[in-house]
Structure 1
Amino acid sequence: MSHTAPQSRALTTRVRALGPGDVPALNALLDRDPDVNVFVRHRVDQTGLQESILGGRVWGYHEGSELVSACHAGANVVPVAATPAAIESFVDQLLLDHHRAASVVGPREQVADLWALLEPAWGPARSSRPVQPFLRLQQDPAVAGDARVRRLAIDELELLYPASVAMFREEVGVDPEAHGSFNYRARVAQLLSLGWAFAIVQDDTVVFKAEVGAATTRACQIQGVWVHPELRGTGLSAAALASVVEQVRASIAPSVTLYVNDHNHAARALYARVGFEQVTTFSSYLL
């Protein structure tokens, strides 16, 4: 894809920041694929596209009066049904705004095109994850659940927090407390307050955990699946995750999704055992 630097080319009039009045049109676009678009739809539901709450922008790309593509531009840059022309316009806006994200994530083909244009200015990525199977489960799990898994309450923050930090360091490769613990503690507390954190607790220690990171009425996304190092390889995880899926489908959303690094063979085997099936492929570039 060719790309002209934004300084030398006038911006198309077809791209603009979306606001509260655009919510119906954006939701119609997102609902074409409610599983893949669950993160952005969750953010729209949370904020109503009010920029002060969103903490970023959602760019919309129009052909005539029709919204055909969108791009969430906050801590995470996430494309939605992004055409090649829309991607060029989104990149122009990101660069002109001097926006700097923590990650670029979403459907593989769209993210590949976005990153190819962003990498000269934003790269190199700290971690490139170009192939991440995106999995879904819309029925009862294939294995019986572990009855010890329960939803944690907000007053159990101190119980969950050490496991969350350990998971983040392993999965993301950075310390979430490197610049202080306030922001990450607030995020973990938010998940607890929503009733989105599930765990097995033994002797006042979390030995398994998983959270819902984003949800709508139709779909949700599981994140942060973690087993205490001393219990890995014991067969704990399949039944525990199955219990999370059962509880999530009963109380949050009927379609449960997640994405996983293709080289994480143990995790992929776990998800297959529980009944998850691949429906598409994501990519992530962590900055």
Structure 2
Amino acid sequence: MLTTRQGIRPLNAGDLGAFLDLTARDPVVNVFAEYRARTTNLEPRWLGGEIWGRWDGGDLVAACHVGANLVPIEAGEDDARAFGERARDRVRTVSTLVGKQPAVRPLWETIGDTWGTPREERWEQPHLEQQLQSLVDPDPFVRRTTRADMEILYPACVAMYTEEVGISPETGGGRDLYRARVLQLISRGWSFARIEDGEVVFKAEVACATPTAAQVQGVWVPEHRRGEGLAARGMAAVCDIIRNDIAPRVSLYVNDWNAPARRAYERAGFLETARFSTIMF
């Protein structure tokens, strides 16, 4: 049996095949990790951090993404605690700890007393996948955004982020970086919106995608237009576009207390497939 700290080392390009085999155990839940691996080839300079692997008898049994986000991957309780003990030795550089709840909880229990008080803990976040036919018709006015939409779209992105995360993405001089991220999503064809009379009334983005799955983020309707069904019809349209052009399976995760969003996703054909937790600093 492995003891904590045993068998853990940073992965590199030579480990890519083994890592993709690991993420393939649950390719929808692991879409972020697989996307990061495919786009960086596990090179630290492109990762902006590391991915730690835990090995047993030559087999990669679990991993942990260590960058802006700390994400346990296919980690059981013992794996999570082992990654936590390794993380305790580091100065905290991550802003978010996120992943499946059964791994996040022991990981946080191991490192929490050394990493300081988090800004927020969200323990109950249903991970959803569109598995049923939508109960509503896709919104025909939802489309991919273009660079010409940027000045209309950007304020909506800031409003969504601020409402969801609790701080503005422009805090601390982050405006240029966040604008660049929004433009990047537009350029990839991963940004979608319904725009009426110069106002975004629904928007969503693909956060990451692999040949198997895409994860949606940033779903938002302005407060004065909520309750009209824009989110459900908009998500039905976004899922159709994603399935046709990006990936065959669509997922997201949502806060348990966000009842209106959960109803909208249910109407768009989403079912819970796992439970996530997020700790934000």
TM-score grouping bracket, smaller chain normalisation:
over 0.9
Question: How far does the alpha carbon of each residue in 1:177-209 deviate from its partner, in whole angstroms, 9 at most, with x for none?
Answer: 111201211211111111100000111221110
> Which residue is equivalent to 2:216?
222
d(CA) in 1 for partners of 2:61, 2:148: 44
Q: Which moved more, 1:36-45 or 1:140-149?
A: 140-149
TM-score by length of 2: 0.95
Structure 1 length normalisation: TM-score? 0.93
Q: How many residues align?
A: 278
Counterpart of 1:209 in 2: which secondary structure? strand
| CA deviation vs aligned residue, 1:223-281 (integer Å, no higher than 9, x gap) | 10000222111222211111111111111111100111111111111111111001111
Partner of 2:67: 74
Q: Take 1:212 and 1:165, find their aligned partners in 2: how far apart are those partners?
A: 16
Distance 1:154 1:100 in 2: 33
Distance 1:265 1:96 in 2: 39
Higher deviation after alignment, 199-208 or 49-58 = 199-208
Superposed CA deviations along residues 99-150 of structure 1, whole A, max 9, x for unmatched, are: 4211111101000111111211123221111011111014542321111000
Moved more, 94-103 or 116-125: 94-103
Tell me which residue corresponds to 2:23: 30
Q: Give unpaired runs (5+ residues) of structure 1.
A: 1-9
Q: 1:36 to 1:80 in 2, by over 3 A?
A: same
Comparing 190-199 with 90-99, which one deviates more in the overlay? Answer: 90-99
Write the letter of the residue equivalent to 2:111. Answer: L
**Is residue 163 of structure 2 the alignment partner of residue 176 of structure 1?**
no
In 2, the alpha carbon distance for the partners of 1:14 and 1:172 equals 35
1:55 is matched with which residue: 27, 30, 48? 48
Cα deviations by residue, 1:68-104 (Å, 9 ceiling, x for unpaired): 0000001111101113332233223323232421111
The 1-side partners of 2:95 and 2:266 are apart by: 29
Partner of 1:148: 141
Q: Find the residue that maps to 2:167 and give its secondary structure.
A: coil
By how many angstroms is 1:164 displaced? 0.3
Distance 2:280 2:245 in 1: 32
Between 1:195-204 and 1:92-101, the stretch displaced more is: 92-101
